[in-house]
Amino acid sequence: MIRHVVMWKLRGDSPVEREAARRLVKTSVEAMEGEIPGMLSIELGLDTSGVDYACDAVLVADFESQSALDGYATHPAHLRMKAALGDIRVARFQVDYEIGDTRHAHS
């Protein structure tokens, strides 16, 4: 399995604008749930720390394979989400990594 993690800093000159951007990201991401073949789970979290170096939102999605993740990139539901968000994302960070049976992980 592949875990896809994306974090965003969002545009907004005021707390009200930032909160509106955060809500838009959350509803747009959650609209993809159940729409993407091979996507096993998706979660969107909004930062509660309030520290100045924190990102505003994090997406964590698990895919059954790299090919499922590759398909997500061009899936119409994903493209709709990206279009809905437009330019509210001012910074984006991503990490994709394999996950599996952690019982055999090295300590």
* 42-95 pLDDT tens trace: 999 999 998 989 999 999 999 999 999 999 999 999 999 999 998 999 999 999
Kindly tell me if the per-residue pLDDT of 102 is higher than 80: no
Which pTM value belongs to this model? 0.87
Q: Is residue 106 part of a domain?
A: no
Residue 107 within a domain: no
Residue 105 lies in a domain: no
Q: CATH number for the domain including 27?
A: 3.30.70.100
Q: What is the DSSP string of 9-34?
A: EE--SSHHHHHHHHHHHHHHHHTTTT
Q: What's the domain count of the chain?
A: 1
What one-character-per-residue DSSP string does 54-69 give? --SEEEEEEESSHHHH
Owning domain of residue 85? 2-100
Residue 107's pLDDT band, with cuts at 50, 70 and 90, is very low
